[in-house]
Structure 1
Amino acid sequence: MRTGIELHAARVRYGPLEALHGVTLAAPAPGLTVLLGRNGSGRTTALRALAGTARLTSGAVTWDGADVTRLTAHERATRGLCFVPDGPAVFSHLTVSENLGLAGPEAAPDLTPALDAYPELRPLLHRRAGTLSGGEQRMLALSRALLTTHARVILIDEPTQGMSTSVASRTYDLLVGLSAHACVLTAEQRLPPGLRGHAGQAAVVVHELRRGEVVFSGEATELSRRRRS
């Protein structure tokens, strides 16, 4: 049985400062989970702890019920974890095509899924990634996640950073689609309209963090009702 990826009483310190204060949260598989919080809330640190790029001071990370706390970020990636950090998250000295080619082990991977999702990248394939706009670099970073065919857990920090409204809306549709067969966990400052849950759409799980602690866990529709009341 697939239970997804979880933090258990996780604490993370950066020098003398503790960023996570015993955080426990779960992201089901398959399914879509959103970590909400302002800058400094701990949402990015929570993602990094799950990805293995931030070391736990105490607590544990489990994946499908197995303890993976001691696995490195590389070991988690080889098992099917894909992490897209915030910011550009691309290899700036490589071309768009070369960046996409790093998504899989094939010598000449099929780029069709990425270019169908973001056709804006098609005329940019021979451009160096560092010359792209912020939104274009974000599309490229997410496209690499789309091409990682073995991905079982996909962690994305602020997926639509720098994107236009229309491209952001398309991106949220892509995330919903990916969550039908993978554990998708995204960090946002506020809950986007495209991830609030609609009729016929599977429930979106939300964990809201504030100052390194979870202050709400539940479904997106429940959070929306709570904030309207």
Structure 2
Amino acid sequence: MRGIELRDARVRYGPVEALHGITLAAPHTALTVLLGRNGAGRTTALRTLAGTVPLSSGAVVRDGRAITHQPAHERAAQGLCYVPDREAVFSSLTVAENLNLAAGDTAPALDTYPELRPLLSRRAGTLSGGEQRMLALSRAVLSRATVILVDEPTQGMSPTTATRTYALLQSLDACVVLAEQRVPPGLRKGAGRTTIVHELRRGELVFSGEPGELDEDPEELSPARSRYAQE
């Protein structure tokens, strides 16, 4: 399968196991959402895919090839971009310098987020939370990565900017994986690119499927119903 996967993935933080042998797939052709409340394991799963958290057992597979022992910087050099929920920009550099690190031509990013144009000379650390998310996502887009992992992409954004951001992520020719607490309304409606949801709860995979199949209350989900987890 072209895309990125976790296979029987277990992750421990000291004596505590955060992921309990989960298997899930994020195909290149779809936008994948790792869904769950705080402590569910969605951020850990994203970090494991990025290589910033090691597996206790199991595997990370990209385009059919195991990359479990490949360090994060090598994954990045091979076209994987990870945007964490915090400290996703170089705070001591200006907005322009942050963008220039990703690409020489920054016009596509500024066309997507024109709000950044008047902020080019500002230090990134002085921006609001929503502005920093715009900058971080702009750098991800400019990097032309083939796998893009984003933890809470629209945190701090206005509803209008958030809608534009989800449309951007749906339009990318890349394997896009998002970590979210809820399925965004625009993705739940199923417009545009296929969306796959993997619901995590306390380190367990409890649901895999399309947004329209997801129960309204995550706490009422039955044990894992998985059409996509092992494809």
**After TM superposition, is the score higher than 0.5?**
yes
Q: List, as ranges, runs of 4+ consecutive aligned residues in structure 1 with deviation greater than 6 Å.
A: none
Aligned to 2:176: 184
Aligned to 1:167: 161
> For the residues of structure 1 that align with 2:195 and 2:139, how far apart are their CA atoms?
23
Q: How far off its partner does 1:112 sit?
A: 0.8
1:216 pairs with 207, 221, 227, which one? 207
> For the residues of structure 2 that align with 1:78 and 1:197, how far apart are their CA atoms?
35
CA contact (8 A) 1:88 1:138 kept: no
Query: TM-score by structure 1 length?
Result: 0.92
1:62-113 Cα deviation digits (max 9, x unpaired): 0000000010001101111010000241111000000111114xxxx11111
Aligned to 2:151: 157
Q: How far off its partner does 1:164 sit?
A: 0.8
CA contact (8 A) 1:197 1:204 kept: no
> For the residues of structure 2 that align with 1:72 and 1:61, how far apart are their CA atoms?
12
Q: Residue type of the partner of 2:147?
A: V
Q: Among all aligned residue pairs of Structure 1 and Structure 2, give the percentage whose two residues are the same amino acid.
A: 70
> For the residues of structure 2 that align with 1:194 and 1:72, how far apart are their CA atoms?
34
Aligned length: 218
CA RMSD of aligned residues (A): 1.4
Aligned to 2:139: 144
1:127-161 Cα deviation digits (max 9, x unpaired): 00011111111110010011012x11000000001
Q: How far off its partner does 1:203 sit?
A: 1.9
1:114 pairs with 105, 109, 123, which one? 109
CA contact (8 A) 1:92 1:128 kept: yes
Q: How far off its partner does 1:3 sit?
A: 2.0
> For the residues of structure 1 that align with 2:79 and 2:7, how far apart are their CA atoms?
21
Aligned to 1:5: 4
Q: How far off its partner does 1:221 sit?
A: 2.0
Q: How far off its partner does 1:26 sit?
A: 0.2
Q: Residue type of the partner of 1:211?
A: R
What are the ranges of 5 or more consecutive residues in structure 2 without an aligned counterpart? 218-231
What are the ranges of 5 or more consecutive residues in structure 1 without an aligned counterpart? none
Q: How far off its partner does 1:118 sit?
A: 0.5
